[in-house]
A = this chain, B = another copy of it.
């Protein structure tokens, strides 16, 4: 796929003119990262941001003891590290490819030029940043005010909505260890809680596929109205 075609598939760039797509295509750097490769590390000089063309990328923090907290998992079409373009000069977290991924790197200065002359791009960017803020606020709320079963229930319901609520089957796009890290816990604890949820009939879990058997019950777990026995 050409660079221009790939750019057209990125929601953030919706509304650019032909000429602007060309300008953008001139400055982006087409990059490939194999599964497990680091894209950047916390503290690296943040000279631009990325959009994912294909694959999957995790943004995460590490504690000195090596525990990991995933901030976000991004897929095709999504930008990441945009904040580095507008604030501060270094990346505030690590980024690693979870699958073999193709990404475009967009240098800060070129993008700042482009956005100056394009209000709709600016609006898209502000909408994107705002959405991230909202998700982070939600994450803080979950970490501080909910226990792990509540966080897991909330996440399962979130996936249920994302993936077209028709069926009761949701697909965890990531492994259990990663899911644990995203929920602010560890694999052992996640495993135990999945088992308990299954025994109590809330879900039916098999590999990366989970059946939501009792959405109502999960909702109550998520809000803290009910507790896992």
Chain A residues with a Cβ under 8 A of chain B:
61-65, 67, 69, 71, 82-88, 92-93, 112, 115-117, 119, 122-123, 125-127, 129-134, 136-141, 143-146, 184, 223-225
| A61 & B145 in contact (Cβ 8 Å cutoff) | yes
Which DSSP category, helix, strand, loop or mixed, fits chain A's interface?
helix
The answer for the CA separation of A229 and B83 in the assembled complex, in Å, is 38
Cβ of A208 to closest chain B Cβ, rounded Å: 23
Cβ of A132 to closest chain B Cβ, rounded Å: 6
Cβ of A12 to closest chain B Cβ, rounded Å: 13
Which residues in B have their C-beta under 8 angstroms from that of A139?
136, 140
What is the total number of copies of this protein in its complex? 2
Contact among B62, B112, B144, B224 for A69, CB-based, below 8 A? B144
Which residues in B have their C-beta under 8 angstroms from that of A123?
86, 112, 115-116
| A67 & B145 in contact (Cβ 8 Å cutoff) | yes
| A92 & B134 in contact (Cβ 8 Å cutoff) | yes
| B140 & A61 in contact (Cβ 8 Å cutoff) | yes
The answer for the CA separation of A190 and B52 in the assembled complex, in Å, is 42
Cβ of A158 to closest chain B Cβ, rounded Å: 14
Contact among B64, B117, B134 for A224, CB-based, below 8 A? B64
For the complex of A and B, the 4 pairs showing the least CB-CB separation, nearest first, are A87-B130, A136-B136, A83-B130, A63-B145
Cβ of A211 to closest chain B Cβ, rounded Å: 26
Contacts A115-B122, A143-B143 given; does A137 touch B63 at CB 8 Å:
no
Which residues in B have their C-beta under 8 angstroms from that of A112?
123
The answer for the CA separation of A115 and B120 in the assembled complex, in Å, is 10
| A87 & B134 in contact (Cβ 8 Å cutoff) | yes
Cβ of A223 to closest chain B Cβ, rounded Å: 6
Task: A65-B224, A85-B126, A92-B138 given; name 10 further pairs at CB < 8 Å.
Answer: A61-B137, A83-B130, A83-B134, A86-B123, A86-B129, A87-B127, A87-B131, A88-B130, A133-B136, A143-B143
